[in-house]
Structure 1
Amino acid sequence: MSNISFMEKLLDGVYVEWIEVGELISPQRGRRLVKSQLEEVGSYAVYQNSMKPLGYYHESNAQAGTTFVIVAGAAGEIGFSDVAFWAADDVYFFPEANAVNNKYLYHFLLTKQHEISSQVRRASIPRLSIATVERLEIPIPCPENLKKSLAIQARIVTILDKFDALTNSISEGLPCEIELRQKQYEYYRDLLLNFPKPDEVAA
Protein backbone atom coordinates (compact mmCIF):
# COMPACT_ATOMS: atom_id res chain seq x y z
CA MET A 1 0.00 0.00 0.00
CA SER A 2 1.41 3.42 -0.98
CA ASN A 3 1.85 6.26 1.48
CA ILE A 4 -0.95 8.22 -0.20
CA SER A 5 -3.50 5.40 -0.15
CA PHE A 6 -2.57 4.59 3.46
CA MET A 7 -3.24 8.18 4.53
CA GLU A 8 -6.49 8.29 2.58
CA LYS A 9 -7.68 5.23 4.49
CA LEU A 10 -6.42 6.53 7.84
CA LEU A 11 -7.93 9.99 7.38
CA ASP A 12 -11.07 8.74 5.64
CA GLY A 13 -10.60 11.09 2.72
CA VAL A 14 -10.44 14.33 4.72
CA TYR A 15 -8.94 17.42 3.15
CA VAL A 16 -5.36 18.27 4.16
CA GLU A 17 -3.88 21.75 3.94
CA TRP A 18 -0.15 22.49 4.13
CA ILE A 19 0.49 25.53 6.33
CA GLU A 20 3.75 27.10 7.44
CA VAL A 21 4.52 26.38 11.08
CA GLY A 22 5.03 30.09 11.72
CA GLU A 23 1.48 30.84 10.56
CA LEU A 24 0.00 28.43 13.09
CA ILE A 25 2.15 28.99 16.13
CA SER A 26 4.73 31.63 17.03
CA PRO A 27 7.86 30.22 18.67
CA GLN A 28 9.01 32.08 21.75
CA ARG A 29 12.62 32.57 22.70
CA GLY A 30 13.62 31.53 26.20
CA ARG A 31 15.26 33.82 28.72
CA ARG A 32 18.83 33.60 29.91
CA LEU A 33 19.75 32.60 33.43
CA VAL A 34 23.20 33.27 34.83
CA LYS A 35 25.11 30.46 36.50
CA SER A 36 24.51 31.84 39.99
CA GLN A 37 20.76 31.48 39.47
CA LEU A 38 20.92 27.76 38.72
CA GLU A 39 20.21 25.13 41.34
CA GLU A 40 21.52 21.57 41.55
CA VAL A 41 18.09 20.37 42.59
CA GLY A 42 14.98 22.32 41.78
CA SER A 43 11.43 22.19 40.55
CA TYR A 44 12.12 22.83 36.87
CA ALA A 45 14.83 21.69 34.46
CA VAL A 46 16.68 24.43 32.59
CA TYR A 47 17.44 23.75 28.91
CA GLN A 48 20.09 25.92 27.30
CA ASN A 49 22.18 24.46 24.46
CA SER A 50 21.52 20.72 24.67
CA MET A 51 18.88 18.18 25.62
CA LYS A 52 20.65 17.65 28.93
CA PRO A 53 19.43 20.10 31.58
CA LEU A 54 21.97 22.79 32.42
CA GLY A 55 20.62 22.84 35.96
CA TYR A 56 17.35 23.58 37.72
CA TYR A 57 15.33 26.64 38.64
CA HIS A 58 12.43 27.44 40.94
CA GLU A 59 10.30 28.90 38.13
CA SER A 60 9.21 27.77 34.67
CA ASN A 61 8.53 29.73 31.51
CA ALA A 62 7.26 26.87 29.34
CA GLN A 63 4.29 24.77 30.32
CA ALA A 64 3.95 20.99 30.28
CA GLY A 65 3.35 19.47 26.86
CA THR A 66 5.62 21.83 24.95
CA THR A 67 7.82 21.26 21.90
CA PHE A 68 11.13 23.11 21.79
CA VAL A 69 14.15 23.54 19.50
CA ILE A 70 17.78 24.13 20.44
CA VAL A 71 19.25 26.94 18.30
CA ALA A 72 22.87 27.08 19.55
CA GLY A 73 25.31 24.40 20.60
CA ALA A 74 23.32 21.26 19.82
CA ALA A 75 21.52 23.41 17.25
CA GLY A 76 18.68 21.68 15.43
CA GLU A 77 17.87 19.22 18.21
CA ILE A 78 14.14 18.90 18.83
CA GLY A 79 12.62 18.15 22.21
CA PHE A 80 9.27 17.69 23.91
CA SER A 81 8.64 17.96 27.62
CA ASP A 82 5.70 16.40 29.45
CA VAL A 83 6.45 18.67 32.41
CA ALA A 84 6.94 22.42 32.75
CA PHE A 85 10.52 23.67 32.34
CA TRP A 86 12.67 26.77 31.94
CA ALA A 87 13.78 27.58 28.39
CA ALA A 88 16.99 29.62 28.30
CA ASP A 89 17.96 31.99 25.50
CA ASP A 90 19.36 29.32 23.16
CA VAL A 91 15.98 27.61 23.10
CA TYR A 92 12.79 28.44 21.24
CA PHE A 93 9.59 26.81 22.44
CA PHE A 94 6.13 26.53 20.93
CA PRO A 95 3.30 27.62 23.23
CA GLU A 96 -0.16 26.12 22.98
CA ALA A 97 -2.00 26.99 19.77
CA ASN A 98 -5.61 26.48 18.71
CA ALA A 99 -5.10 24.69 15.41
CA VAL A 100 -2.21 22.32 16.08
CA ASN A 101 -1.57 19.64 18.69
CA ASN A 102 1.85 20.39 20.22
CA LYS A 103 2.88 16.73 20.24
CA TYR A 104 1.76 16.42 16.60
CA LEU A 105 4.09 19.33 15.83
CA TYR A 106 6.90 17.52 17.65
CA HIS A 107 6.48 14.31 15.65
CA PHE A 108 6.29 16.32 12.43
CA LEU A 109 9.49 18.20 13.22
CA LEU A 110 11.25 14.89 13.86
CA THR A 111 10.48 13.92 10.27
CA LYS A 112 12.25 17.13 9.23
CA GLN A 113 15.27 16.62 11.50
CA HIS A 114 17.70 16.15 8.61
CA GLU A 115 16.39 19.19 6.76
CA ILE A 116 16.60 21.33 9.90
CA SER A 117 20.10 20.11 10.74
CA SER A 118 21.28 20.90 7.21
CA GLN A 119 20.51 24.57 7.86
CA VAL A 120 22.68 24.81 10.98
CA ARG A 121 25.54 27.28 10.52
CA ARG A 122 28.71 25.40 11.40
CA ALA A 123 31.01 27.67 13.40
CA SER A 124 32.77 27.62 16.76
CA ILE A 125 29.24 27.54 18.17
CA PRO A 126 26.76 25.96 15.74
CA ARG A 127 23.64 28.09 15.30
CA LEU A 128 20.21 27.69 13.72
CA SER A 129 17.82 30.43 12.65
CA ILE A 130 14.35 29.70 14.03
CA ALA A 131 13.01 30.97 10.69
CA THR A 132 14.12 27.63 9.24
CA VAL A 133 11.54 25.91 11.40
CA GLU A 134 8.87 28.58 10.94
CA ARG A 135 9.03 28.17 7.15
CA LEU A 136 8.41 24.42 7.22
CA GLU A 137 4.98 23.43 5.94
CA ILE A 138 3.07 21.12 8.25
CA PRO A 139 0.06 19.09 7.03
CA ILE A 140 -3.11 20.06 8.89
CA PRO A 141 -5.99 17.64 8.32
CA CYS A 142 -9.51 19.00 7.97
CA PRO A 143 -8.52 22.61 8.76
CA GLU A 144 -12.08 23.89 8.25
CA ASN A 145 -13.29 21.77 11.19
CA LEU A 146 -11.11 22.47 14.23
CA LYS A 147 -12.60 19.77 16.44
CA LYS A 148 -12.18 17.07 13.81
CA SER A 149 -8.70 18.29 12.88
CA LEU A 150 -7.47 18.10 16.46
CA ALA A 151 -9.06 14.67 16.91
CA ILE A 152 -7.20 13.34 13.86
CA GLN A 153 -3.94 14.89 15.05
CA ALA A 154 -4.44 13.34 18.49
CA ARG A 155 -5.06 9.92 16.94
CA ILE A 156 -1.82 10.11 14.97
CA VAL A 157 0.05 11.23 18.10
CA THR A 158 -1.33 8.26 20.03
CA ILE A 159 -0.11 5.81 17.39
CA LEU A 160 3.36 7.36 17.19
CA ASP A 161 3.69 7.66 20.96
CA LYS A 162 3.04 3.92 21.34
CA PHE A 163 5.85 3.07 18.94
CA ASP A 164 8.10 5.64 20.59
CA ALA A 165 7.44 4.14 24.02
CA LEU A 166 8.35 0.66 22.81
CA THR A 167 11.50 1.98 21.17
CA ASN A 168 12.79 3.85 24.20
CA SER A 169 11.95 1.34 26.90
CA ILE A 170 14.76 -1.19 27.34
CA SER A 171 12.50 -3.23 29.57
CA GLU A 172 10.33 -3.98 26.54
CA GLY A 173 12.87 -6.31 24.94
CA LEU A 174 16.39 -7.17 23.91
CA PRO A 175 18.59 -4.66 22.03
CA CYS A 176 17.83 -6.29 18.68
CA GLU A 177 14.11 -5.88 19.31
CA ILE A 178 14.64 -2.27 20.37
CA GLU A 179 16.40 -1.65 17.06
CA LEU A 180 13.49 -3.24 15.21
CA ARG A 181 10.98 -1.11 17.14
CA GLN A 182 13.01 2.00 16.31
CA LYS A 183 12.81 1.19 12.61
CA GLN A 184 9.09 0.48 12.91
CA TYR A 185 8.52 3.76 14.75
CA GLU A 186 10.40 5.77 12.11
CA TYR A 187 8.57 3.95 9.31
CA TYR A 188 5.08 4.56 10.69
CA ARG A 189 5.91 8.11 11.79
CA ASP A 190 6.98 9.00 8.26
CA LEU A 191 4.02 7.11 6.80
CA LEU A 192 1.43 8.80 9.01
CA LEU A 193 2.82 12.27 8.42
CA ASN A 194 3.49 11.89 4.71
CA PHE A 195 0.44 13.73 3.44
CA PRO A 196 0.55 14.36 -0.31
CA LYS A 197 0.81 17.99 -1.38
CA PRO A 198 -1.67 19.09 -4.08
CA ASP A 199 0.98 19.22 -6.81
CA GLU A 200 2.13 15.69 -5.91
CA VAL A 201 -1.42 14.34 -6.17
CA ALA A 202 -1.91 16.02 -9.53
CA ALA A 203 1.30 14.47 -10.82
Structure 2
Amino acid sequence: MSKIDELTKRLCPDGVEYRALGEFASVDRGGSFQKKDFTDEGMPCIHYGQIYTLYGLHVSETLTFVAPDVFSKSKKAHPGDVVMAVTSENMEDVCKCITWLGQSDVAVSGHTAIIRHDQNPKFMTYYFRSSAFEADKRRLAHGTKVIEVTPAKLLDVRIPVPPMEVQEEIVRVLDSFAELEAELEAELEAELEARRRQYAYYRDKLLSFENAERERERPSK
Protein backbone atom coordinates (compact mmCIF):
# COMPACT_ATOMS: atom_id res chain seq x y z
CA MET A 1 0.00 0.00 0.00
CA SER A 2 1.41 3.41 -0.97
CA LYS A 3 1.59 6.31 1.43
CA ILE A 4 -1.21 8.03 -0.48
CA ASP A 5 -3.43 4.95 -0.14
CA GLU A 6 -2.62 4.72 3.56
CA LEU A 7 -3.40 8.40 4.13
CA THR A 8 -6.61 8.23 2.13
CA LYS A 9 -7.81 5.14 4.00
CA ARG A 10 -7.02 6.72 7.36
CA LEU A 11 -8.19 10.29 6.74
CA CYS A 12 -11.20 9.68 4.53
CA PRO A 13 -12.35 6.08 5.04
CA ASP A 14 -15.65 6.75 3.26
CA GLY A 15 -13.91 7.99 0.13
CA VAL A 16 -12.62 11.32 -1.13
CA GLU A 17 -15.21 14.07 -1.13
CA TYR A 18 -16.12 15.78 -4.42
CA ARG A 19 -17.18 19.42 -4.23
CA ALA A 20 -18.25 22.01 -6.76
CA LEU A 21 -15.42 24.45 -7.41
CA GLY A 22 -17.71 27.33 -6.44
CA GLU A 23 -18.02 25.93 -2.91
CA PHE A 24 -14.39 26.66 -2.05
CA ALA A 25 -13.10 28.97 -4.79
CA SER A 26 -13.89 32.13 -6.70
CA VAL A 27 -13.40 32.46 -10.45
CA ASP A 28 -12.77 35.90 -11.95
CA ARG A 29 -11.89 37.02 -15.45
CA GLY A 30 -8.44 38.44 -16.08
CA GLY A 31 -7.77 41.68 -17.97
CA SER A 32 -6.99 44.08 -19.46
CA PHE A 33 -3.39 44.73 -20.59
CA GLN A 34 -2.12 43.61 -24.01
CA LYS A 35 1.22 42.59 -25.49
CA LYS A 36 1.83 46.18 -26.59
CA ASP A 37 1.96 47.12 -22.90
CA PHE A 38 5.04 44.96 -22.23
CA THR A 39 8.07 46.78 -20.85
CA ASP A 40 11.67 45.73 -20.21
CA GLU A 41 11.15 46.12 -16.48
CA GLY A 42 8.39 47.03 -14.09
CA MET A 43 5.63 44.98 -12.50
CA PRO A 44 5.20 41.26 -13.23
CA CYS A 45 2.55 40.17 -15.70
CA ILE A 46 1.29 37.00 -17.37
CA HIS A 47 -0.29 37.03 -20.83
CA TYR A 48 -2.69 34.20 -21.61
CA GLY A 49 -0.71 33.16 -24.69
CA GLN A 50 2.36 32.53 -22.53
CA ILE A 51 0.52 29.79 -20.65
CA TYR A 52 0.47 27.71 -23.85
CA THR A 53 4.02 28.33 -24.96
CA LEU A 54 6.41 29.65 -22.31
CA TYR A 55 5.47 28.42 -18.86
CA GLY A 56 5.36 25.04 -17.17
CA LEU A 57 2.98 24.06 -14.42
CA HIS A 58 4.21 26.32 -11.63
CA VAL A 59 5.55 29.85 -12.04
CA SER A 60 7.35 32.01 -9.49
CA GLU A 61 8.87 34.62 -11.84
CA THR A 62 7.43 36.19 -14.97
CA LEU A 63 9.17 36.67 -18.30
CA THR A 64 7.40 39.97 -19.02
CA PHE A 65 6.49 43.18 -17.22
CA VAL A 66 4.16 46.16 -17.45
CA ALA A 67 4.46 49.73 -16.22
CA PRO A 68 3.10 50.52 -12.72
CA ASP A 69 0.16 52.52 -14.12
CA VAL A 70 -0.90 49.58 -16.32
CA PHE A 71 -0.42 47.19 -13.40
CA SER A 72 -2.63 49.27 -11.13
CA LYS A 73 -5.54 49.01 -13.60
CA SER A 74 -5.08 45.29 -14.33
CA LYS A 75 -6.74 42.25 -12.81
CA LYS A 76 -4.30 40.44 -10.54
CA ALA A 77 -3.61 36.96 -9.27
CA HIS A 78 -2.43 36.48 -5.69
CA PRO A 79 0.30 34.00 -4.70
CA GLY A 80 -1.27 30.55 -4.77
CA ASP A 81 -3.95 31.41 -7.34
CA VAL A 82 -4.42 29.31 -10.46
CA VAL A 83 -4.32 31.24 -13.75
CA MET A 84 -6.16 29.45 -16.55
CA ALA A 85 -6.27 30.33 -20.26
CA VAL A 86 -9.92 29.97 -21.22
CA THR A 87 -9.60 30.79 -24.94
CA SER A 88 -7.62 28.89 -27.56
CA GLU A 89 -7.63 27.89 -31.20
CA ASN A 90 -7.73 24.21 -30.24
CA MET A 91 -9.28 21.97 -27.62
CA GLU A 92 -5.93 20.78 -26.29
CA ASP A 93 -4.76 24.20 -25.12
CA VAL A 94 -8.00 25.65 -23.79
CA CYS A 95 -8.05 25.56 -19.97
CA LYS A 96 -4.30 25.08 -19.68
CA CYS A 97 -3.25 26.67 -16.42
CA ILE A 98 -0.37 27.54 -14.14
CA THR A 99 0.07 28.02 -10.42
CA TRP A 100 1.29 31.50 -9.55
CA LEU A 101 3.89 31.00 -6.78
CA GLY A 102 5.52 34.44 -6.85
CA GLN A 103 6.06 36.52 -3.74
CA SER A 104 3.59 39.25 -4.78
CA ASP A 105 0.57 39.82 -6.99
CA VAL A 106 0.88 39.47 -10.76
CA ALA A 107 -1.10 41.25 -13.48
CA VAL A 108 -3.10 38.85 -15.64
CA SER A 109 -4.31 39.51 -19.18
CA GLY A 110 -7.73 38.89 -20.66
CA HIS A 111 -8.88 35.47 -21.96
CA THR A 112 -8.05 34.00 -18.56
CA ALA A 113 -9.74 32.86 -15.39
CA ILE A 114 -8.17 33.65 -12.03
CA ILE A 115 -9.10 30.86 -9.60
CA ARG A 116 -8.69 31.77 -5.93
CA HIS A 117 -9.13 28.82 -3.57
CA ASP A 118 -8.22 27.39 -0.17
CA GLN A 119 -6.58 24.15 -1.32
CA ASN A 120 -2.99 23.17 -2.10
CA PRO A 121 -2.11 25.38 -5.12
CA LYS A 122 -0.06 22.76 -6.94
CA PHE A 123 -2.71 20.10 -6.35
CA MET A 124 -5.26 22.32 -8.06
CA THR A 125 -3.11 22.84 -11.14
CA TYR A 126 -2.22 19.16 -11.37
CA TYR A 127 -5.91 18.31 -11.29
CA PHE A 128 -6.78 20.87 -13.97
CA ARG A 129 -4.12 19.24 -16.18
CA SER A 130 -5.55 15.73 -15.62
CA SER A 131 -7.64 13.54 -17.93
CA ALA A 132 -10.40 13.64 -15.30
CA PHE A 133 -10.84 17.38 -15.85
CA GLU A 134 -10.48 16.91 -19.61
CA ALA A 135 -13.99 15.47 -19.79
CA ASP A 136 -15.45 18.48 -17.95
CA LYS A 137 -13.52 20.86 -20.18
CA ARG A 138 -14.87 19.29 -23.36
CA ARG A 139 -18.39 19.44 -21.98
CA LEU A 140 -18.09 23.15 -21.16
CA ALA A 141 -16.16 24.29 -24.24
CA HIS A 142 -17.91 26.01 -27.11
CA GLY A 143 -16.90 27.52 -30.43
CA THR A 144 -15.29 26.25 -33.62
CA LYS A 145 -12.46 28.49 -34.85
CA VAL A 146 -11.96 29.83 -31.33
CA ILE A 147 -12.59 27.44 -28.45
CA GLU A 148 -13.69 29.02 -25.17
CA VAL A 149 -14.80 27.99 -21.71
CA THR A 150 -16.83 30.64 -19.89
CA PRO A 151 -15.07 31.21 -16.53
CA ALA A 152 -18.32 31.30 -14.54
CA LYS A 153 -19.22 27.80 -15.76
CA LEU A 154 -16.13 26.43 -14.02
CA LEU A 155 -17.85 27.06 -10.68
CA ASP A 156 -20.10 24.03 -11.20
CA VAL A 157 -17.26 21.60 -11.98
CA ARG A 158 -16.99 18.97 -9.27
CA ILE A 159 -13.45 18.36 -8.04
CA PRO A 160 -12.02 15.77 -5.63
CA VAL A 161 -10.97 17.50 -2.43
CA PRO A 162 -8.95 15.06 -0.31
CA PRO A 163 -7.57 16.16 3.06
CA MET A 164 -4.64 18.56 2.85
CA GLU A 165 -2.19 15.89 3.98
CA VAL A 166 -3.22 13.71 1.04
CA GLN A 167 -2.96 16.64 -1.36
CA GLU A 168 0.55 17.40 -0.15
CA GLU A 169 1.67 13.81 -0.66
CA ILE A 170 0.16 13.72 -4.16
CA VAL A 171 1.99 16.95 -4.99
CA ARG A 172 5.26 15.56 -3.61
CA VAL A 173 5.00 12.48 -5.82
CA LEU A 174 3.99 14.41 -8.95
CA ASP A 175 6.74 17.00 -8.37
CA SER A 176 9.24 14.14 -8.23
CA PHE A 177 8.01 12.78 -11.56
CA ALA A 178 8.09 16.26 -13.09
CA GLU A 179 11.70 16.76 -11.95
CA LEU A 180 12.68 13.36 -13.35
CA GLU A 181 11.00 14.16 -16.65
CA ALA A 182 12.86 17.47 -16.87
CA GLU A 183 16.17 15.71 -16.17
CA LEU A 184 15.49 13.08 -18.83
CA GLU A 185 14.49 15.73 -21.36
CA ALA A 186 17.73 17.62 -20.67
CA GLU A 187 19.77 14.43 -21.08
CA LEU A 188 17.96 13.49 -24.29
CA GLU A 189 18.43 16.99 -25.68
CA ALA A 190 22.15 16.85 -24.88
CA GLU A 191 22.41 13.42 -26.54
CA LEU A 192 20.45 14.67 -29.55
CA GLU A 193 22.73 17.70 -29.89
CA ALA A 194 25.79 15.45 -29.74
CA ARG A 195 24.33 13.25 -32.48
CA ARG A 196 23.56 16.33 -34.59
CA ARG A 197 27.18 17.48 -34.32
CA GLN A 198 28.40 13.96 -35.16
CA TYR A 199 26.10 13.81 -38.17
CA ALA A 200 27.25 17.23 -39.39
CA TYR A 201 30.90 16.24 -39.01
CA TYR A 202 30.58 13.01 -41.00
CA ARG A 203 28.27 14.59 -43.58
CA ASP A 204 30.83 17.29 -44.31
CA LYS A 205 33.73 14.85 -44.19
CA LEU A 206 32.15 12.26 -46.48
CA LEU A 207 30.92 14.83 -48.98
CA SER A 208 34.08 16.89 -49.11
CA PHE A 209 35.98 15.90 -52.29
CA GLU A 210 37.70 19.22 -52.74
CA ASN A 211 41.19 18.06 -51.80
CA ALA A 212 41.09 15.08 -54.11
CA GLU A 213 39.88 17.28 -56.98
CA ARG A 214 42.62 19.78 -56.37
CA GLU A 215 45.24 17.01 -56.38
CA ARG A 216 44.07 15.92 -59.84
CA GLU A 217 44.04 19.50 -61.13
CA ARG A 218 47.54 20.30 -59.80
CA PRO A 219 50.00 20.44 -62.75
CA SER A 220 52.65 17.78 -62.81
CA LYS A 221 56.30 18.83 -62.55
- Scaled by the length of structure 2, what TM-score is found? 0.61
1:42 and 1:56 in contact (8 A); partners too: yes
- State the alpha-carbon separation in 1 of the partners of residues 142 and 11 from structure 2: 39
> In structure 2, what is the equivalent of residue 157 of structure 1?
171
**Cα distance change, pair 134–50 in 1 and its aligned pair in 2 (3 A):** farther
Deviation at 1:150, TM superposition (A): 2.1
CA deviations 1:34-69 (Å, max 9, x no partner) are 455332444413223451479522447112332121
> In structure 1, what is the equivalent of residue 80 of structure 2?
65
2:4 and 2:166 in contact (8 A); partners too: no
- State the alpha-carbon separation in 2 of the partners of residues 50 and 126 from structure 1: 17
Give runs of aligned pairs for residues 1-203 of structure 1, distance below 5 A. Answer: 8-15=5-12, 16-51=16-51, 52=53, 55-58=64-67, 59=71, 61-73=76-88, 74-83=93-102, 84-97=105-118, 100-111=119-130, 112-118=132-138, 119-141=140-162, 149-170=163-184, 173-174=187-188
- State the alpha-carbon separation in 2 of the partners of residues 95 and 116 from structure 1: 19
**Matched position secondary structure for 1:114:** helix
1:94 and 1:102 in contact (8 A); partners too: no
2:34 and 2:47 in contact (8 A); partners too: no
Provide structure 2 residue ranges, at least 5 long, that are not aligned to the other structure. Answer: 55-62, 190-221
Q: Name the aligned partner's letter for residue 114 of structure 1.
A: E
- State the alpha-carbon separation in 1 of the partners of residues 97 and 154 from structure 2: 11
Q: Name the aligned partner's letter for residue 78 of structure 1.
A: C
**Cα distance change, pair 45–161 in 1 and its aligned pair in 2 (3 A):** same
Write 1 or 2 for the structure with the bigger share of helix. 2
Provide structure 1 residue ranges, at least 5 long, that are not aligned to the other structure. Answer: 142-148, 176-203
- State the alpha-carbon separation in 2 of the partners of residues 156 and 8 from structure 1: 10
Deviation at 1:76, TM superposition (A): 1.9
CA RMSD of aligned residues (A): 3.0
Deviation at 1:78, TM superposition (A): 2.0
**Matched position secondary structure for 2:114:** strand
- State the alpha-carbon separation in 1 of the partners of residues 49 and 136 from structure 2: 16
Percent identity of equivalent pairs: 19
Deviation at 1:32, TM superposition (A): 0.6
**Cα distance change, pair 36–68 in 1 and its aligned pair in 2 (3 A):** closer
After TM superposition, the structure 1 stretch with the greater mean CA deviation from structure 2, 17-26 or 67-76, is 67-76
- State the alpha-carbon separation in 2 of the partners of residues 45 and 166 from structure 1: 29
1:49 and 1:91 in contact (8 A); partners too: no
**Matched position secondary structure for 2:84:** strand
**Cα distance change, pair 169–126 in 1 and its aligned pair in 2 (3 A):** same
